[in-house]
Amino acid sequence: MSAQPGTGVAVSVLYPGDRGGAPGAPVEARQPAHFPDLHLDQVVKAALAGRDEYDLAPLFYAPLEDEAAVRYRQEVCRDLERREVADVVSAFAKLMRQARTNLRHMAQVEGHAFKQGCFLDAAASYSAAVTSLHEGLERVGPSSQALGRFREHLAAYRGSERFGSLASEVNALRDGLSRVQYSVHVRGNRVTVARYEGEQDLSTLVEEAFAKWRSEKVQDSRADLPDQRDTNHVYAQVLERVARLYPEPFSRLEAFYSRRHSLMDPTVVAFDREVQFYLAYLNLVYRLRGTGTAFCYPEVSSRSKELSVAGGSDIALALALSRYGTASVANDMDLSGPERIVVVTGPNQGGKTTFARMFGQLHYLAGLGVPVPAAAARLYLPDRVFTHFEKEERLDNLQGKLNDELERVRYILLHATSRSVIVMNESFGSTSLADSRFIGAKVLEQVSQLRALCVYVTFVDELASLDEATVSAVAEVAPDDPDVRTYKVSRRPADGRAYAMALARKYALTYRELRERVSR
């Protein structure tokens, strides 16, 4: 845990209070078991593309259970949705990336002088990063508590002797080294390094030879190549000889390198990583908003399980459809009073599974403190999310598919609490209707006794009206054509009639078709 200089106050933009400072903040290293079922693994992979250096995945594996902590993050997200704030942070991140790149080069180059030069460049980038971030935050004035506290930390840090001496020493060293001039004479395999004594600069001759082409205005086709510092033993030996010719600036560089091994402030390093959590997710949000998916900052509660969702979407489906420039169908949902369980019925391929995934995703993402895919939402903060989705039968499983499903359900019921969210999709579909009805009723009775929030997708209509905790939702079809799915799920009693005709048509079992067969 890191603290403000002279204050002892922890500073983190992910965790309020005494959980601050990412190096010591608790995170979950393993992907939650429900991620594949809810397709959240796909969402996190898409969000983190190109950000491997930050190791952000564990931050997405550890949702919060505290309302104040969630709101703390929501404030940061809102700040970073302001373009001017995001630009300041992005400029800082770019300079920090340069600093880390230079530090990595230290292990790759040969020669003490080269290593020390890489370290000096890293210190220069770091000093510029801290300065630009502090001045930028002072200018744009973030409103979140987290960025406000971090800005105070930067002010104290920039005013400290430690940072002040670093910045001034870096400037003095770079100024001194910029005055070093030398010449290299190459004859055969012999290389001679000497002080520059006014010899003709061949680079000037080359520039003059091509100067006539500079007068014409042409399109700049230069590429922004990364700073490559690859060297070999020849370059290293040349620089070592330059250091002997100019011992004073290089001895100061060596002393600087020896004194400044702990270059970066831990709080600044923590911020550099933590803020990427927000930027990665918000980039995904902007992408999906561009194709019509709504996002909002939900109201959250760790006490009330009365919830409402307007215009909610499956974020993984929205991500898949964004490749084609379209958005997924949005749905509404609400629970009040004693209601805890939503039993979803309706035709196959009608959007039931998508609705179930949306339910689980919304509650999980709300716990991360980020915008959720809905126009408006009031959500509960669960302690854990459990899923039970139908899985293919494995040949190496000698117990059978039904037994495997029962074992997985048993694990959920043993470990779920009244604060859990449970998503069950097409469970026990491998057994008979009577058995599926019996087992499903027993499972839902236990879920009801737990008072956990649950979505249960099934083809058994009778399960949609078990008790006062259970509400029925139906995946709809077009009123004039039961074969057409609307992918809308509405709250109404299950009756099976919404898709009976569609099934009859599918299998050529309509009244007309049966009459034709009999009359043949």
Interior/surface letters 272-300, b for 16+ CB within 10 angstroms, e for the rest: bbbbbbbbbbbebbeebbebebbbbbbbb
Q: How far apart are the first and last CA of the chain?
A: 83
Average pLDDT over residues 213-220: 62
User: Is 205 part of any domain?
Assistant: no
Closest by CA to 109, choosing from 262, 239, 264, is 239
Residues 354 and 260 in one domain: no
**Of the candidate ranges 104-113, 133-142, 282-291, the one whose mean pLDDT is the lowest:** 104-113
* Same-domain status, 384 and 285: no
The position carrying tokens 């039968």 is 393
Q: Which of 300-309, 322-331, 337-346, 473-482 has the lowest mean pLDDT?
A: 473-482
**Rounded CA gap, 470 and 39, in Å?**
26
**Do residues 380 and 258 share a domain?**
no
CB 344 within 8 A of CB 456: yes
Helix H or strand E segment including 192: strand 190-195
Contacts of 206 (CB under 8 A, 6+ apart): none
| Nearest residue to 372 (alpha-carbon basis) of 315, 418, 410 | 315
More confident residue, 169 or 334: 334
Q: Where a domain ends, among 267, 289, 311?
A: 289
126 in any annotated domain = yes
Structural domain of 167: 1-13+26-33+50-183+228-289
Domain assignment present for 43:
no
Does one domain contain both 137 and 167? yes
- Three-state DSSP at 477 gives strand
Tell whether 44 is covered by a domain.
no
Q: Are 155 and 233 within one domain?
A: yes
Where residue 195 falls among pLDDT bands split at 50, 70, 90? confident
In this prediction, residue 360 carries a pLDDT of 98
484 three-state secondary structure: strand
**Which of the residue ranges 22-36, 41-55, 64-78, 360-374 would you say has the lowest mean pLDDT?**
22-36
- The reply to whether 344 falls in a domain is yes
SS3 letters for 363-377?
Answer: HHHHHHCCCECCCEE
Among the candidates 289, 319, 340, a domain finishes at: 289
* DSSP-derived 3-state class of residue 312: strand
Same-domain status, 493 and 384? yes
Q: What angle do CA 425, 426, 431 make, to 5 degrees?
A: 145
> What distance in Å separates the CA atoms of residue 89 and residue 386, rounded to the nearest whole number?
36
Q: 373 with 265, same domain?
A: no
Model pLDDT for residues 382-423, shown as the tens digit of each residue: 999 999 997 754 545 445 678 888 999 999 999 999 999 999
* CA–CA gap between residue 259 and residue 359 (Å, rounded): 55
Cα–Cα distance measured from residue 210 to residue 401, given in angstroms and rounded to the nearest whole number: 77
Residue 202 lies in a domain: no
Residue 423 lies in a domain: yes
Record the pTM: 0.84
- In this prediction, residue 45 has a pLDDT band, given cuts at 50, 70 and 90, of very high
Please tell me the predicted confidence (pLDDT) of residue 518.
82
Question: What tokens does 389 get?
Answer: 């989705």
Provide CB contacts within 8 A for 271, sequence distance 6+: 11, 13, 150
Query: pLDDT tens for residues 473-517?
Result: 999 988 877 778 889 999 999 876 645 655 566 567 777 888 887
Do 339 and 473 contact (CB within 8 A), yes or no? no
261 and 379 fall within a common domain: no
Q: Which of 236, 267, 289 is the last residue of a domain?
A: 289
**Torsion region of 3: left, alpha or beta (phi above 0 gives left; psi -120 to 50 gives alpha):** beta
Judge whether residue 297 has pLDDT over 90: yes
360: domain CATH number is 3.40.50.300
Average pLDDT value for residue range 427-432: 75
Q: Are the beta carbons of 92 and 86 closer than 8 angstroms?
A: no
Mark whether 275 and 299 lie in a shared domain.
Answer: no
For the chain, what is the domain count?
Answer: 2
Residue listed under structure tokens 């020669």: 111
What is the pLDDT confidence band of residue 5, given thresholds at 50, 70 and 90?
Answer: very low
Examine residue 441 and state whether it is found in any structural domain, yes or no. yes
Tokens of 452: 């956990």
Q: What gap in Å lies between CA 431 and CA 7, rounded to an integer?
A: 64
279 in the same domain as 168: yes
Whether residues 438 and 366 share a domain: the answer is yes
State whether 133 and 245 are in the same domain: yes
